Amino acid sequence: MIKNSLRIIGLLIMALLLNLHGSKPAEAQPVVTSQYYCLMDSKSGQLLTGKNMHMPRPVASTTKMMTAILTMDYAGLNEIASVSPHADKTAEYTIGLRAGQTLPLHELMKAALICSANDAAVVLAEHVAGDEALFAHLMSCKAFLIGATSTHFVNASGLPADNHYSTAYDLAQIGRYALTYPTIKKAVGTAQAEFHHPAYQKPIIIRNTNGLLNTYKGAEGIKTGTTNAAGKCLVAAATRQGRQLIAVVLKSGDRQGDCWRLLDYGYTRFSYQKLINKDEPFKRIQVISGKDNYTDVYPDEDVWLWVGERVPDIEKEVIMQYNITAPALRGKNIGELNVYAQGKLVKTIDLVLKKPVERKHLGISKIYEHFFGQ
């Protein structure tokens, strides 16, 4: 069997693929005060729009998304944490924790994610890793692993610090990943909750800093952030008709309004269209020693993309065998197809056989020749 790898990169005119005719004017972009933003489809990771989305910036308390992720990965929510002198001295905003107090991690998670308490984030970090700096290093490593490759953390709270940064694109990746944890998703989607403060006998009410939860239809998080250096930041998520979008704005003059307009733009200006059909042959390849000389290769699943009035540039990268030796079973993997939209990978699918490939049956004379020669 000869195995060839071929990289095919071609810009496809989506209008032809989707049976659209004539040129379309570029759609009107949403009015956004931020100069650093992006809008992403949560399921596929497809970017719908953005500006300066890969430029590193201070990101303030949006950092706490990764603090929560790492806590979920390495600790149990019923574990009891102690407040250290270091956490006691955390700069505002805090929920007033004092050295020596103890409380369960699920309470600290609520405080960090709902009312953005910096001291709660530090207690979580120290409980998980024993040291906030080590925890921050683990945060950076985790960010890289989930695709946030332009992110570096030096603390768990997002308070101003040299070399602590991320990008709008990376925060969208972190946000969509954070929402896969039911505990995090529930917390960031809660407008207000009771917090059992160790200094008080009765619980206190904490309120979410994300105003979209009470105003935008389908809003379900995720995290605000504000410092002088970072400005007003927001990672917002909403789901409508089963479709979840992530909007990120950094250093915004109107973070709630910006995210509102970005989310509306995604829901009203894009339609879900099929780019690749799993029931249609994708490629024909040669069969060696087969009953048939050629067989068809199919995508293992459909590929869908969100398409607006302005057709995105689509690239396909194919890595596959261009001939096989019979016999071969139905479902045999022949290669893979990577689909890119606007330069970003949105889907990888297998290329497979939909029917078995039979070996050619030799006649008596051919068998004799095969074993004994002419």
Spatial CA neighbour of 171 closest among 196, 147, 204:
147
Catalytic residue among 34, 42, 116, 140: 116
Distances (CA, A) of 246 to 58, 299, 325: 19, 28, 46
**What does the pLDDT read at residue 2?**
39
> How confident is the model over 68-95, as pLDDT tens digits?
999 999 999 999 999 999 999 999 899 9
On average, the pLDDT of the chain sits at 89
Catalytic residue among 42, 61, 84, 157: 61
> Could you give the CA distance from residue 310 to residue 123 in angstroms, rounded to a whole number?
47
**Would the pLDDT of 374 be above 80?**
no
d(CA 135, CA 129): 5
61 is an active site residue: yes
Which pLDDT belongs to residue 20? 39
The residue with greater pLDDT, 130 or 25, is 130
- What pLDDT sits at residue 346? 84
Q: What is the pLDDT of residue 271?
A: 86
Give the pLDDT mean for 204-209: 96
Q: Which residue has the tokens 């979008």?
A: 245
Q: Could you write out the DSSP letters of every residue in 270-281?
A: -EEEEEE-TTS-
pLDDT at 373: 60
Q: Over range 154-172, report the average pLDDT.
A: 97
pTM of the model: 0.82
How is residue 45 written in tokens?
A: 């990771």
When pLDDT is cut at 50, 70 and 90, the band that residue 372 belongs to is low
Q: Is pLDDT larger for residue 6 or for residue 31?
A: 31
- Which residue in 34, 42, 44, 64 is the catalytic one? 64
Closest CA to 206 of 214, 197, 219: 197
CB 293 within 8 A of CB 327: no
- What's the rounded mean pLDDT across residues 191-205? 96
Burial class (CB in 10 A: 0-12, 13-18, 19+), 271: exposed
% of the chain residues with pLDDT over 70 = 89
> What is the band of 264 on the pLDDT scale with cuts at 50, 70, 90?
very high
Domains belonging to the chain, first-starting first, are 36-269 (3.40.710.10), 274-353 (2.60.410.10)
Q: Is the pLDDT of residue 367 over 80?
A: no
The interaxial angle of helices 105-114 and 64-74, nearest 10 deg, is 160
* pLDDT (average), residues 230-259: 97
Distance CA(348)–CA(341), nearest Å, equals: 12
Categorize the per-residue pLDDT at 360 as very low, low, confident or very high, splitting at 50, 70 and 90: confident
Active site residue 116: yes
Confidence tier at 6 by pLDDT (50, 70, 90):
very low
Q: How confident is the model at residue 364 (pLDDT cuts 50, 70, 90)?
A: low
Mean pLDDT of 14-40: 66
pLDDT tens readout for residues 295-353: 999 999 998 888 887 777 889 999 998 999 999 999 999 999 999 887 888 889 999 99
Give the pLDDT of residue 25.
Answer: 46
